[in-house]
Amino acid sequence: MVDRLLKVNAYTTFDLLDGRVEGHGFDEEALAVLNVTAPRQDPDHVKLQLEMDNTQLDAVEPHADHVTLSAAEARELAAELEEYAGKVEAAQSE
């Protein structure tokens, strides 16, 4: 990905995931970077960041999305991810 907005390095949670952007009148696929961080000093939130490879998108201007979660919200998201990961694993083992 060229012209990235998010810093991507060895500590980035996921890079080069399969992503999709959907909107009114468009649906495009592109590589994506997904990262989870918290402030190094006195952390008071968890930040979830997503950036799609803007070289593969025509309908969306280059940008990165950020969501700030409390510790409780981050745990709730983690629990949902665990639940759905279990459903996918169960379906694949059948």
Sequence ranges of the domains in the chain: 14-93
The per-residue pLDDT for 1 is 63
Residues of the chain with pLDDT under 50: none
The whole model's pTM is what?
A: 0.88
What single letter denotes the amino acid at residue 90?
A: A
pLDDT of residue 4: 86
pLDDT in the model for residue 2: 67
In angstroms, rounded to a whole number, what is the distance separating the alpha carbons of residues 68 and 2?
25
CA 39 – CA 83 distance, rounded (Å): 27
Predicted local distance difference test score (pLDDT) of residue 92: 95
- On whether the CB atoms of residues 36 and 17 are closer than 8 A, the answer is no
Q: What is the DSSP letter of 61?
A: -
For residue 13, which amino acid is it? T
